[in-house]
Chains A and B, each alone.
Chain A
């Protein structure tokens, strides 16, 4: 089955991005496809390559990057939400790309299931 995921909250402040990641990981392990993760609202902050958590904590940004590389997950950051919050091409972590809200609509039309993680 083809899944689309929406992440509405930034890393570390809320659990949403962690839950979304664990869900995506389990979906892939279960033989499903995670076609795209769309980052909206403060969720765009998941894409900042300047993120540097303490060494004994999980690295939320790198975790997404690794998933994108290993499983061809399309990580899309909403351009309007990103610009508001200072997320640009120059501070985008590998695996993420910036695009429009149409990519979220496409998640809804193309995927078998669309699931939102937020707060």
Chain B
């Protein structure tokens, strides 16, 4: 695929309650494998996807959170988290699995405007 576009994936849903977060991650990895310019956004309940210390043994659902740590191996390095969403959920950057760029709502809106394709799950 010759044409490179800016793809943004907007994650607004918490993990485990629904499958969206896991299947979204699968699309992100494939998109990166096709050498596209990938940005990953976590806002609203989506910030819970990035919470450290997920233990899913008791619910017998696969814990996919370690995959976020592997993202840079796929050249997915643009991870953005909305500050307002973290604040509203009592989370800080120390609670997150990986290093991210924390953005204000205005910065997030401006970043969205730069994209060619926006997918949300």
Contacts and interface: CB of A to CB of B under 8 A. Distances in A.
Interface of A: 6, 8, 40-41, 80-81, 100-102, 104-106, 108-110, 114, 116, 118
B27 interface: yes
Contacts of B59: none
Which of A6, A40, A100, A108 gathers the greatest number of chain B CB atoms within 10 Å? Answer: A108
Name A's interface SS.
helix
A109 B30 contact: no
Interface string B1-26: 10111010000000000011001001
Contact of A106 (B1, B27, B121): B1
Interface residues of B, number: 19
Interface string B27-56: 100110010100000000000000000000
Which of B26, B27, B116 gathers the greatest number of chain A CB atoms within 10 Å? Answer: B27
Contact of B36 (A8, A108, A110): A108
A55 B119 CA distance: 35
